Amino acid sequence: MDVISWAEGAHTTVDLRQLEIIRAIAETGSFTAAGHKLHVSQSAISRQILLLEDELKEPVFLRIGRRIRITPTGEALLQLSHRVFQDLRDTTAGIADSQESLRGTVRLLGGMTVCLYVFPSLMTELKRQHPEVDLKVMTGSSERCLQHLRSGTGDLALLTLPVDQPDLDTVPVLQEELLLVTAAKHPLSRKRKVLAADLQRQPFVLFEQGSNTRRAIDEFFLSARIEPDIVMETENVEIIKAMVRTGIGISIIPYQAAARDVSSGHLFLSRIEGRSLVRETGWVYPRMSRTPRAVQETIRAFERVKPKLRLRP
DSSP per position, 182-215: EETTSGGGG-SSB-GGGGTT-EEEEPPTTSHHHH
User: Of 98, 125, 152, which residue is a domain's last?
Assistant: 98
pLDDT band at residue 9, thresholds of 50, 70 and 90? very low
- Using a pLDDT cut of 90, give the percent of the chain over it: 68
Domain shared by 42 and 116, yes or no: no
pLDDT band at residue 287, thresholds of 50, 70 and 90? very high
pLDDT band at residue 7, thresholds of 50, 70 and 90? very low
Cα angle: 110, vertex 113, 115; to 5 degrees: 50
Cross-strand bridge partners of residue 188 = none
CA distance 232 to 206: 6
Domain shared by 171 and 257, yes or no: yes
Domain shared by 205 and 302, yes or no: yes
**Which pLDDT score, from 0 to 100, does residue 6 have?**
38
- Maximal CA-CA distance, the chain: 93
Report DSSP state, residue 162: P
Domain shared by 88 and 208, yes or no: no
Interhelix angle 16-28/42-56, nearest 10 degrees: 120
Domain shared by 234 and 286, yes or no: yes
155, 294 contact by CB (below 8 A): yes
Q: What global pTM score does this model have? A: 0.66
Domain count for the chain, please give it.
Answer: 2
- Please report, for the domain that includes residue 92, its CATH number: 1.10.10.10
CA distance 69 to 60: 9
**Which pLDDT score, from 0 to 100, does residue 2 have?**
52
Least confident of 78-82, 221-225, 237-241, 302-306: 78-82
Is the pLDDT confidence value at 142 over 60? yes
Domain shared by 153 and 75, yes or no: no
CA distance 106 to 123: 10
Domain shared by 159 and 43, yes or no: no
Domain shared by 78 and 226, yes or no: no
Domain shared by 50 and 166, yes or no: no
108, 137 contact by CB (below 8 A): yes
- Please report, for the domain that includes residue 141, its CATH number: 3.40.190.290
User: Of 64, 98, 132, which residue is a domain's last?
Assistant: 98
pLDDT band at residue 98, thresholds of 50, 70 and 90? low
208, 214 contact by CB (below 8 A): yes
Q: Which range of residues forms the domain containing residue 209?
A: 105-313
Domain shared by 12 and 53, yes or no: yes
Domain shared by 94 and 149, yes or no: no
User: Of 75, 98, 121, which residue is a domain's last?
Assistant: 98
Domain shared by 132 and 266, yes or no: yes
**Which pLDDT score, from 0 to 100, does residue 89 have?**
78
